[in-house]
A and B are shown apart, each in its own frame.
Chain A
Amino acid sequence: MSVTGGVVSALDLSLRGQAAAIAAGEVEATELLDATLARIEERNPAINAVVETFPERSREMLAAAPDGPLRGVPIVVKDEWPLPWRAQRFGAAELLAPTAPGESGPYRALRDAGAVIVGVGNMHELGSGSTGNVSVYGAARNPWDTERCPGGSSSGPAAATAARLVAGAVGADGLGSVRFPAAYCGLTGLKPTFGRSAMAGHHMASTTTLIVSGPLCADAADCRLLGSALFGEELVSGDAAGLRIGVVRDAVSEDVAPEVRDACEAAIEALRTATGGEVREVELADLPAATLAAILAINAESLSGVAPERLNDLHPEISPINRGFTKYRMLLPAAAVVQAGRVRTLMRRRLAALFDDVDVIVWPTTPAVAPPLEAPMVELPSGTHTADQANVRGAALANLTGIPAISVPVGLSSDGLPIALQLQAAWGRDELLLDAAEALERANERRWVESLPPLARAEPTEA
């Protein structure tokens, strides 16, 4: 097998394909690493997905790699965790929390699985947006259309995987930050049950009750493999037969662009047919309150320990929108945070009851396709909204309550941009989400998970 070209390029294999080819001796891991670095050099300028590579560190990781399930497989990690040779920057000129190089949970998980961290992925500044167009490194760009947002905040990991710089990447999800870029870039992205995936070393690890690390890959099987490394346990394949699918007739599934609605409704029917399951309409009241509660919770947690006067000394290169928004967030009343906690309890109890009746609840991951970088606004039946406002209402519930969620590509718009369906399940049922995603892929004859953006269709260059 050729590493960079020919009939089959190892660079273009799936994550599990790369792992298997290396394990079988069909591909030399050192050659794959060099070819991956060369591809980053070739393709990254168009998308600004990878903000730093460190070939010598990567080679050292490879030389010391144990014979694990990801031995020799190159991975990109979001700029949200420290590495032993690099502190995270969180996509910003500075963080309000102190940072330092170190062995983060995702680093250890990848190292112990034999993977090779080949680069750091760009991200939306301070993790504060769903678009990825604001970053100290400059905007990341969507490989499907480089004038469009790649999604955020895990913008770089998604764009890098979609453009096939790597076959998998590690993102983080505090209010949808794995799922949004997965949706915009045509990938599968898993937001694990809170606490199941590696989080040590994150600058909010001791305070967050919402943020998780999660895999971004082309399909569910690759997410299962990378997720198993992040979880530190094998995510065993099961059977989604007889899946009980809950549909919520609310703004999250109704106030969406017509193309998105049509593709997601077709996908829900395909999933029902493929699993021999059933679709039930279910009630889930107070979703707007849940969204606001999640925003208030992550806001309070992110400002924990920050003295107000510290905000008078923000780095001048922090973007104007984050300078002003951070100051506004400091003013929000404690009574609202307490009330948000009660909404959280209410929604957790409602979901616990709901998951007695259905296995998954589904709605579009984002209500519209990736918006333009220069003006990230979306047109919905209810009017024009910022992408952030529109996106968060379908994502926050999983973070607020701790349940797992997955974004699965289910179509392309008339503009050739990816459309995605989100599935959410009860606590600890991450494996079921992967099973259901695989059933949906089969039902669609893998058409959407195997679709490639223009940037990834380029003929590989022979090294």
Chain B
Amino acid sequence: MEASDRAEDFVPAGLASFGIEADEVDLAVMNAAHQMFWPGIRGLLSLDLSAVEPERNPDMSRSPEAS
């Protein structure tokens, strides 16, 4: 199946999955948010970061070498 950037495919299915109600205004905002964020999220998911060793319990107050 091909991936889709269409809000009409994503938003109603997500709302139904979680049992979240939305009126027309909610849907308009959600559709706009989807157009803004979804291409970037798909791009993020497609990044090959397998070589990045995760930080375990990182201390955000310090550099990764120090934490």
Contact = CB atoms under 8 A, between A and B. Distances in A.
A342 B49 contact: yes
A328 B18 contact: no
B3 interface: no
B24 to A, nearest CB: 10
Interface in A285-308: 286, 288-289, 292-293, 295-296, 308
Interface string A318-346: 00110111011111110110011111111
Interface stretch (A189-197, A359-367, A373-381): A189-197
Contacts of B29: 320-321, 323-325, 328
A194 B20 CA distance: 34
Nearest to B53: A345
A401 B61 CA distance: 9
Nearest to A336: B41
A312 interface: yes
B25 A339 contact: no
A195 B59 CA distance: 9
A327 B41 contact: no
Contacts of B52: 342, 345-346, 349
Interface in A383-428: 389, 401-402, 426-428
A402 B25 contact: no
Contact of A428 (B10, B27, B45, B62): B62
Interface in B25-67: 25-30, 33-34, 36-37, 40-41, 43-45, 47, 49, 52-55, 58-66
Contacts of B65: 352
B60 A289 contact: no
Contact of B58 (A308, A320, A329, A348): A348
A284 interface: no
Given A345-B54, A389-B36, A312 B14 contact: no
A426 B63 contact: yes
Given A320-B25, A321-B29, A324-B26, A331 B45 contact: no
Interface residues of B, number: 39
Given A321-B29, A327-B20, A342-B52, A292 B58 contact: no
Most chain A CB inside 10 Å of its own CB: which residue of B15, B43, B53, B62: B62
A317 interface: no
Contact of A345 (B14, B36, B58): B58
A322 B59 CA distance: 31
Contacts of A329: 33
Most chain B CB inside 10 Å of its own CB: which residue of A286, A324, A355, A427: A324
B30 A293 contact: no
A289 B47 CA distance: 9
B30 A330 contact: no
Contacts of B49: 339, 342-343, 346
B45 A288 contact: no
Given A331-B14, A345-B53, A352 B63 contact: yes
Nearest to B43: A289
A209 interface: yes
A348 B18 contact: no
Interface string A194-215: 1110000000000001100000
A181 to B, nearest CB: 23
A336 B20 contact: no
Interface of B: 10-11, 14-15, 18-22, 25-30, 33-34, 36-37, 40-41, 43-45, 47, 49, 52-55, 58-66
Given A336-B44, A401-B60, A428-B61, 4 more contacts: A325-B30, A340-B44, A345-B54, A348-B64
18 contacts: A194-B60, A293-B44, A312-B19, A320-B25, A323-B29, A325-B33, A327-B15, A327-B26, A328-B29, A331-B10, A342-B52, A345-B64, A346-B49, A346-B52, A348-B64, A351-B63, A352-B65, A427-B63
